Amino acid sequence: MRALLLIDIQNDFLPGGALPVPRGDEVIGVANRLLGDYPLIVATRDWHPPNHVSFVSQHPGHRIGEVVEVDGISQVLWPDHCIQHTWGAAFAPELNTQRIDHIVSKGTDPRVDSYSGFFDNARRRATGLHDYLRSAGVVEIDIMGLATDYCVQFTVLDACELGYRTRVVLAGCRGVELKCGDTTRAIEAMEAAGAILVE
Ligand code: VGL
Ligand code: ZN
């Protein structure tokens, strides 16, 4: 069984959102075109409480893009984004959400971030995605969405480690590029981990 995994195609990651990914809106059409080709579609969403540890608002005196240590884990500071139940956290209105079979929320713990759709950054808690895919008999996943250098990358690395045959649909991914070259480095890391890159 093969599944399509859509990563964080949410308003705040699109141009005009709180944490806009350059040309992030271009992935929506790719997702809508691919939806028909898969028996199972799973979408992740970044789903933060208002006091989330990744928000710059929670770290007075610090700036966006700075890295702080929290409970022994490095945390990049982001603009406040994808707050549960807000417009910014909603899926892009143009995305055909009718065909999504299952939604996985991540980043819900105020104390720890979760770039991967499978585990939080401290690897303390699983999101339930692996259990869901396993129960559905999924052995192959095609992954696309936002952002290449964060949530797509870490989801792909975990998928490879968990033993899924993993493909990255590059045409359906865009990077934040906080540092120049992050997207290219992420693509190299995913390939090195065993993911197949496809356009
Ligand atoms: C993401 C930064 C912060 C992502 C989520 O979806 O790639 N990036 N939260
Ligand atoms: Zn986030």
pLDDT tens by residue, 75-133? 999 999 999 999 999 999 999 999 999 999 999 999 999 999 999 999 999 999 999 99
Side chain identity at residue 35, one-letter code: L
Would you call 58 helix, strand, or coil by DSSP? helix
pLDDT tens-digit series, residues 154-166? 999 999 999 999 9
CB 116: neighbour CB atoms within 10 A?
26
Work out the burial of residue 4: count CB atoms within 10 Å of its CB; fewer than 13 is exposed, 13-18 middle, 19 or more buried: buried
Q: Residue 178 has what pLDDT?
A: 94
Q: Residue 41 has what pLDDT?
A: 98
pTM above 0.95, yes or no: yes
Residues with Cβ within 8 Å of 104's Cβ and at least 6 positions away in sequence, in order, are: 42, 43, 44, 45, 117, 127, 128, 129, 132
Helices (H) and strands (E) in the chain, counts: 4, 8
Q: Residue 158 has what pLDDT?
A: 98
| Ligand closest to the CA atom of residue 83 | 2
Spacing, Cα 36 to ligand 1 middle (Å):
26
CA-closest candidate to residue 19, choices 186, 120, 147, 118: 147
Spacing, Cα 143 to ligand 1 middle (Å):
15
Average pLDDT of 19-41? 98
Nearest atom of ligand 1 to the alpha carbon of 149: 7
Protein residues with C-beta less than 5 angstroms from the ion ligand 2: 46, 107
Active-site residue list: 8, 106, 151
Strand partners, 10: 91
* Segments of 130-192 assigned E as strands: 140-146, 165-174
pLDDT above 70 covers a percentage of the chain that reads 100
Q: Are strands 67-70 and 73-76 parallel, antiparallel or unpaired?
A: antiparallel
Residues with Cβ within 8 Å of 140's Cβ and at least 6 positions away in sequence, in order, are: 1, 2, 3, 164, 165, 166, 167
* Ligand 1 pocket, mutate which of 112, 176, 190 (most atoms under 8 A from CB): 176
Domain ranges of the chain: 2-48+82-198
Q: Residue 124 has what pLDDT?
A: 93
Nearest Cα residue to atom 2 of ligand 1: 150
Domain formed by 2-48+82-198, architecture? 3-Layer(aba) Sandwich (3.40)
pLDDT tens-digit series, residues 46-76? 999 999 999 999 999 999 999 999 999 999 9
Spacing, Cα 6 to ligand 2 middle (Å):
15
pLDDT tens-digit series, residues 163-188? 999 999 999 999 999 999 999 999 99
Pocket of ligand 1 (CB under 6 A): 8, 13, 46, 54, 78, 146-147, 150-151
Would you call 47 helix, strand, or coil by DSSP? coil
pLDDT tens-digit series, residues 141-152? 999 999 999 999
